[in-house]
Structure 1
């Protein structure tokens, strides 16, 4: 497994929609393993393929990880939200592609997601709480949507300006 570099805001790739994976090949399995390794190293609880520079509809999660011990790594291939509850929850979200920035975001409290697993079998999961929030956050990534898009225009503009400035400073060395 390889820890891959993260794609960071303002990289335009984060705004692109990801393509369906298609067949689950050894390369896709390797990418999923690399993504889990990258997510654990960051550390984070979710990661979409676009965040490691791959425009594929693939995401990994582990919302029960505790102090460096892998809890329940999950791999979702071509995930699709098929139902959202009317009830909402608010969670303080962050993103590995927007480091060290956190804001409260309101999302549906429960979702149903259809996806293929790493063995190319169709699955469906109903999720609530943190898992529902994380699934929605990562599926948004696959559609070119970031959690900051749920914030006020003022907050969103501040974040975009901050990360554009940091990117210019990094480019200058």
Structure 2
């Protein structure tokens, strides 16, 4: 299975608004191929030469419904920089992820959010929980895990989990005042 821009479903495709089905774990061979192709897309999309050659748009995450597979599978890959300036790659390939706890505080990206499946700009704050705890099956290490995430990682994980529930990021934007921050919101630059 190979994924490129031609594989990505575009809003208003009805599958993007459907609830995805849970998968059995450990993954079947078919589901393994899907998640491996998703990991490859997200990883390769950050390489400018590969992205141009393979028809990829840069991404930090991808959910199976975005490629026409209505299953609860997501991939997230982000680079973080610690206080010492050291960068590290955080990668998750998850099956059946569920938010099991969250903080009472919110965060939002200063520039708003984007999505491979939403081509037109949808400006505004997308308020998400500042911290989340997620229960999921780790498809890389083949085990059930609990993830504690905050800030940008929490935002990306919530964005991808929303795809599994038929929710798109712009559903959270206040249509009357898109750049109004809710109380208790941290704006992430």
Please give the TM-score of this superposition, normalised by the length of structure 1.
0.80
Helix, strand or coil: the match of 2:126? strand
Deviations 1:120-148 (A, max 9, x none): 41100100011100111111110001111
Counterpart for residue 13 of structure 1: 15
Deviations 1:13-43 (A, max 9, x none): 1000000011312221111111122232321
Q: Which moved more, 1:17-26 or 1:47-56?
A: 17-26
Alignment of 1:17-166 (within 5 A): 17-23=19-25, 24-39=27-42, 40=45, 41-64=56-79, 71-91=89-109, 92-99=112-119, 101-103=121-123, 104-118=125-139, 119-153=141-175
Aligned-pair CA distance for 1:155: 8.8
Helix, strand or coil: the match of 2:121? strand
RMSD of equivalent CA atoms: 2.3
5+ residue gaps, structure 2, are: 46-55, 82-87, 179-189
In structure 1, distance between residues paired with 2:171 and 2:41: 24
Matched residue count = 153
Please give the TM-score of this superposition, normalised by the length of structure 2.
0.74
